[in-house]
Amino acid sequence: MKWVFLDIETTGTDFRRDRIVEIGLVVKGERGRPEERAFLLNPQAPIKRRAFQVHGIGYDDVKGAPTFAEVKDELRPLLEDAIIVGFNLLSLDIPFLNFEFYRLGEPPLLNYVVDVKQIAKVIYEDAPNSLERLARYLGIEVRKNHRALADARITRKVFRALRERKPEIFSDVEGLESLTLSNFPAKSVDILRVARQYGWVNIKYYSHRYGLSEWNIRPITILKSYVIGDTGEGRFKYFNVMRIIRISPPTYGWI
């Protein structure tokens, strides 16, 4: 079983338009020491001022760096078949990575996921809403360094501290993921699990304008209120989770 503790830094907060500038990974297998990897990337897009104020990565830092396309074949094997652990990763890290893969015609990541932010809130009612504050809350020393690898290391320390506090909930990966997804609607969870099995998912969808329609989609982003899916037509489409009538495996012969 392989665990990957993940953090990214970006040009902004919109995963549809902004790009990744740095990826930090701490990869831990069943044996041996953790492997640490950091990828500084040329995003081929402006780095917004607010993002720069967070991570301090500027144009001069990335102008000679490889693009995401140039590192994807090195990055993907580190992530595949791994349980991915992060902080707020379903709202940020996974959508950003999946949109980067989508732009290159690559399938999305549909890994098991563990969000230490959500797990902390299950254990502590007053758990803080930032990685840095959560780490300090758990007695972990943190230096002010919002770089991807540094935050991936902190995420691993937070994970271990939470496991020491409540070891019984860390014995089962599926149970951990269920806690991570506990505030997601059942339809979002069903889409993830069907897509994980088949790669694609078939949904029956209702809209006020078009009535009932049926779609085979490959989910790029699965959130609480909507899903963004690759329709196989070279574009992505938004689906309001509340308007999804049925979820099933993809139509026979589609893939």
From its phi and psi, is residue 184 left (phi > 0), alpha (psi between -120 and 50) or beta? beta
pLDDT of residue 253: 54
Could you confirm whether domain 1-183 is CATH 3.40.50.12160?
no
The domain locations on the chain are 1-183, 186-248
For tokens 């930090």, the residue is 24
- The whole-number pLDDT of residue 254 equals 47
DSSP state of 39: E
Burial of 151 (0-12, 13-18, 19+ CB in 10 A): buried
**pLDDT tens digits along 202-252:** 999 999 888 999 999 999 999 999 999 999 888 899 999 999 999 999 986
Are 174 and 108 within 8 A, CB to CB? no
pLDDT digits (tens, 9 = 90+) for 97-116: 999 999 999 999 999 999 99
Q: Which helix (H) or strand (E) holds 6?
A: strand 2-10
In the three-class reduction of DSSP (H, G, I as helix; E, B as strand; rest coil), residue 85 is classed as strand
- The upper half-sphere exposure of residue 199, i.e. CA atoms within 13 Å in the direction of its Cβ, equals 7
Q: What is the CATH number of domain 186-248?
A: 2.30.30.520
pLDDT at 233: 85
From residue 205, how far is each of 186, 194, 195, 199, 216 by CA, in Å? 16, 16, 17, 19, 11
> For residue 32, what pLDDT is reported?
79
- DSSP string covering 179-237, please? HHTTTS-HHHHHHHHHHHHHSSEEEEEEETTTEEEEEEEEEEEE-SSEEEEE-SSSSEE
The pTM assigned to this predicted structure is: 0.95
pLDDT exceeds cutoff 90 at 255: no
- Extract the tokens encoding 4: 């990957």
Adjacency order of strands within the sheet including 20-28: 35-40, 20-28, 2-10, 82-86, 113-115
